């Protein structure tokens, strides 16, 4: 009897590891930027390309950066959540239009609603690289001191909004 | 008549060769960025080969055709041109995307298991095998003298 117990135990340990591994999404790579100050950038506003904005102007308040593009299909899925967010929350929602054409972006906002208090453009994708963006849409939460506190990769689901994003904003006193 | 024909043929030949030259010139133009600095391109390729593309995770940014991989290759090229070292470029990528981008993770406390785990398993397995085989050999009772003699006789005889 004992000689069967060892392989059985080994099997159970292996199955345990595999079961945990299967439930994790390999596409979600933890960002090294969490807990770090926001990368410095200067981005033109989407609505007024002559005006350039830097993160210093957002200092002193909690804000949310949502990276999106008109060519990004999952962005359309999460978008109603942000429209709703803008109606119910006081937090500044900043949109970063990533590797897009200005006309397409403006038309997209016209069509699906514009929840952004401030819309910035990153046509070349350099700001995206500095923020470690690899799968649009992505969402970052920045605290009053300008430190990145949370990152959500992929479209925000109602559950992620309820369980991660809103609690984090409350915790930061927004 | 004959001279007219040869003139036409000559003109055609000139035209054709001009077109060919123009064509190769056009080709040379498009290939220029690569041929411009083969040493630089070689370095771009070597560094890109060690960096994971986060969009298609089992590819390096050297082979991936994802948009981000194209951007990151350009990033590597520009930084090399600006005189940055290989290590500085790797640090740049790690600062943004985490150590997951490195196809050769550095040896440090959190990666000890990753680097030494297979060797530890091999050594452990070898030790276990050695121990079990020795135990089995020790547990087997020696053949009684009478049976040993019979076996010897059978082997010598060659027939049952």
The ipTM is 0.82
User: Are B45 and B62 part of one and the same domain?
Assistant: yes
| Residue A83 structural domain | 27-171
User: Are B89 and B149 part of one and the same domain?
Assistant: no
Chain B hits for A33, Cβ within 8 Å: 96
Query: What CA–CA distance (Å, rounded) separates A33 from A1?
Result: 53
Q: Structurally, how many domains does chain A consist of? A: 1
Binary contact (A99, B67; C-beta < 8 A): yes
| Residue B62 structural domain | 37-106
Query: What CA–CA distance (Å, rounded) separates A146 from B126?
Result: 54
Q: What is the CATH number of the domain that holds A72?
A: 3.40.30.10
User: Are B101 and B111 part of one and the same domain?
Assistant: no
Tens-of-pLDDT digits for all 174 residues of chain A? 778 898 999 999 999 999 998 988 877 888 899 999 999 999 999 999 999 999 999 999 999 999 999 999 999 999 999 999 999 999 999 999 999 999 999 999 999 999 999 999 999 999 999 999 998 999 999 999 999 999 999 999 999 999 999 999 999 987
> Do A37 and A147 touch, CB atoms closer than 8 A?
yes
Q: Structurally, how many domains does chain B consist of? A: 3
**DSSP per-residue codes, chain A:** -HHHHHHHHHHHHHHHHHHHHHHS-TT-PPPTTTTSBPPP--EEBSS-TT-EE-GGGGTTS-EEEEEE-TT-HHHHHHHHHHHHHHHH--SEEEEEEES--HHHHHHHHHHH----SEEEEESSSHHHHHTT--SSSEEEEE-TTSBEEEEEESPPPHHHIIIIIHHHHHHTT-
Query: What CA–CA distance (Å, rounded) separates A169 from A160?
Result: 13
Interface test with B, best of A10, A25, A28, A29 (most B CBs within 10 A): A29
User: Are B153 and B130 part of one and the same domain?
Assistant: yes
CA of B153 vs chain A CAs: smallest distance (Å): 39
Chain B hits for A129, Cβ within 8 Å: 71-72, 75, 96
Nearest to B98 among A27, A32, A130 (CB): A32
Is 0.90 topped by the overall pTM?
Answer: no
User: Are B18 and B51 part of one and the same domain?
Assistant: no
Chain B hits for A125, Cβ within 8 Å: 67-68, 71
Binary contact (B96, A26; C-beta < 8 A): no
pLDDT of B26 strictly over 60: no
Q: How far is CA B69 from CA A95, B4, B10, B51, B54, in A?
A: 23, 59, 51, 10, 8
Look at residue B15 in the predicted model and tell me its pLDDT. 66
A158 in a domain, yes or no?
yes
Nearest to A129 among B55, B94, B96 (CB): B96
Binary contact (B98, A31; C-beta < 8 A): yes
pLDDT of B20 strictly over 90: no
User: Are B150 and B115 part of one and the same domain?
Assistant: yes
Chain A hits for B94, Cβ within 8 Å: 32
Interface test with A, best of B53, B67, B68, B72 (most A CBs within 10 A): B68
A6 in a domain, yes or no?
no
């Amino acid at each position: 009897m004992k000689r069967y117990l060892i392989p059985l135990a080994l099997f159970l340990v292996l199955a345990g590891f595999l079961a945990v591994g299967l439930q994790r999404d390999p596409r979600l790579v933890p960002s090294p930027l969490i807990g770090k100050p926001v990368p410095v950038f200067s981005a033109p506003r989407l609505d007024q390309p002559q005006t350039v904005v830097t993160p210093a102007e957002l200092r002193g308040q909690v804000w949310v950066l949502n990276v999106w593009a008109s060519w990004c299909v999952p962005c359309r899925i999460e978008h109603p959540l942000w429209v709703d967010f803008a109606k119910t929350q006081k937090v500044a929602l900043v949109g970063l239009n990533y590797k897009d054409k200005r006309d397409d972006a403006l038309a997209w906002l016209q069509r699906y609603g514009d929840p952004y208090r401030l819309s910035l453009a990153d046509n070349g994708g350099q700001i995206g690289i500095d923020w470690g963006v690899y799968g649009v849409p992505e969402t970052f939460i920045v605290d009053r001191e300008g430190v990145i506190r949370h990152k959500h990769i992929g479209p925000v689901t109602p559950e992620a909004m309820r369980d991660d994003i809103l609690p984090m904003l409350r915790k930061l006193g927004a | 008549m004959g001279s007219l024909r040869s003139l036409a043929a000559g003109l055609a030949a000139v035209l054709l060769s001009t077109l060919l030259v123009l064509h190769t010139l056009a080709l040379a133009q498009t290939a220029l960025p690569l041929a411009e600095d083969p040493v630089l391109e070689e370095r771009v390729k070597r560094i890109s080969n060690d960096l994971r593309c986060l969009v298609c995770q089992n590819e390096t940014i050297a082979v991936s055709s994802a948009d981000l991989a194209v951007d990151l290759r350009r990033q590597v090229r520009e930084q090399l041109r600006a005189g940055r070292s290989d290590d500085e470029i790797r640090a740049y990528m790690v600062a943004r995307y985490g150590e997951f981008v490195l196809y050769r993770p550095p040896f440090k406390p959190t990666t000890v298991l990753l680097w030494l785990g297979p060797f530890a398993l091999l050594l452990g397995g070898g030790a276990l095998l050695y121990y079990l085989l020795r135990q089995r050999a020790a547990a087997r009772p020696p053949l009684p003298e009478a049976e040993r003699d019979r076996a010897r006789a059978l082997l010598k005889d060659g027939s049952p």
